[in-house]
Amino acid sequence: MLRHAEKATCAFYDGLPMAHRIALIGGDGIGPEVTAEAVKVVRATGVAIETTDFDLGGMRYLRDGEILSDDVLNQLRNYDAILLGAVGTPDVPPGIIERGLLLKMRFDLDLYVNQRPFAGTAPGHVTPHDFVVIRENTEGPYVGEGGVLRRGTPHEIATQGSVNTRHGVERCIRYAFELAAQRERKHVTLVHKTNVLTFAGDLWQRAFNHVAAEFPQVGTAYNHVDAACIYFVEDPHRYDVIVTDNLFGDILTDLGGAVSGGIGLASSANLNPSRTGPSMFEPSHGSAPDIVGTGKANPTAAILSAALMLEFLGENEAATRIRTACDTAPTGSTTEIGNAIAALVAGK
Chain contacts with Mn ion (rule: CB under 5 A): 250
3-class secondary-structure state, position 1? coil
The partner residues of 189 in beta bridges, in order of sequence, read 221, 242
Beta bridge partners of 190: 222, 243
* Shortest distance, position 251 Cβ to ligand IPM, whole Å: 9
Active site residue 240: no
DSSP 8-state assignment for residue 238:
G
Residue 153, SS3 per DSSP: coil
Give the count of residues interacting with ligand IPM (CB under 6 A).
4
User: How far does CA 127 lie from the centroid of its chain?
Assistant: 25
28 binds, among Mn ion, ligand IPM, none (CB under 5 to 8 A by kind): none
CB 137 to ligand IPM: min, Å: 8
Q: From the list Mn ion, ligand IPM, none, which binds 102 (C-beta under 5 to 8 Å, kind-based)? A: ligand IPM
Active site residue 250: yes
Alpha-carbon gap, residue 140 to 124, rounded angstroms: 34
Residue 98 binds which of Mn ion, ligand IPM, none (CB < 5-8 A, kind-dependent):
ligand IPM
Give the nearest distance from C-beta 98 to ligand IPM in angstroms: 4
What is the C-alpha to C-alpha distance for residues 348 and 343, in angstroms, rounded to an integer? 5
Please choose which of ligand IPM, Mn ion, none residue 108 contacts, taking the beta carbon within 5 to 8 angstroms, the exact cut-off set by kind.
none
Contacts of 291 (CB under 8 A, 6+ apart): 30, 297
Cα 119 to the center of its chain, rounded Å: 15
Options 37, 139, 250, 315; binder of ligand IPM; rule CB under 6 A: 250
Closest by Cα among 250, 223, 245 to 164 = 245
Q: Residues 23, 36, 41, 102: which binds ligand IPM (CB under 6 A)?
A: 102
Q: Which residue, 44 or 97, is less far from ligand IPM as judged by CB?
A: 97
**Catalytic residue list contains 175:** no
In the complex with ligand IPM, which residue's Cβ is closer, 102 or 132? 102
Q: Which residue is nearest to ligand IPM (CB)?
A: 98
| Catalytic residue selected from 142, 239, 240, 245 | 142
C-alpha span between 63 and 84 (Å, rounded): 20
Q: Is 28 in the site for ligand IPM (CB under 6 A)?
A: no
Catalytic residue chosen out of the listed positions 80, 240, 245, 250? 250
296 tagged catalytic:
no
Half-sphere exposure of 130 (CA within 13 A, CB side): 8
Member of 45, 194, 244, 284 binding ligand IPM (CB under 6 A): 284
98 burial class (0-12, 13-18, 19+ CB within 10 angstroms)? Answer: middle
> What residues contact residue 105 under an 8 Å CB cut-off, 6+ apart?
68, 73, 76, 82, 111, 270, 280
Closer to ligand IPM by Cβ: residue 58 or 299: 58
Answer yes or no: are the C-beta atoms of 61 and 2 closer than 8 Å: no
Minimum distance from CB of 332 to ligand IPM (Å)?
27
Task: State the minimum distance, in angstroms, from the CB of residue 32 to Mn ion.
Answer: 20
98 binds ligand IPM (CB under 6 A): yes
Strand, coil or helix: what is 179?
helix
Q: Is 254 a catalytic residue?
A: yes
Pick out residues in 200-239 that bind ligand IPM (CB under 6 A).
Answer: none
Burial of residue 187 (number of CB atoms within 10 Å: 0-12, 13-18, 19+): middle
* Site membership for ligand IPM, residue 241 (CB under 6 A): no
Q: Which residues pair with 314 in a beta bridge?
A: none
Nearer to ligand IPM (CB atom), residue 67 or residue 102? 102
Q: Which is nearer to ligand IPM, 59 or 344 (CB)?
A: 59
Residues at the site binding ligand IPM, with contacts judged by CB under 6 A: 98, 102, 250, 284
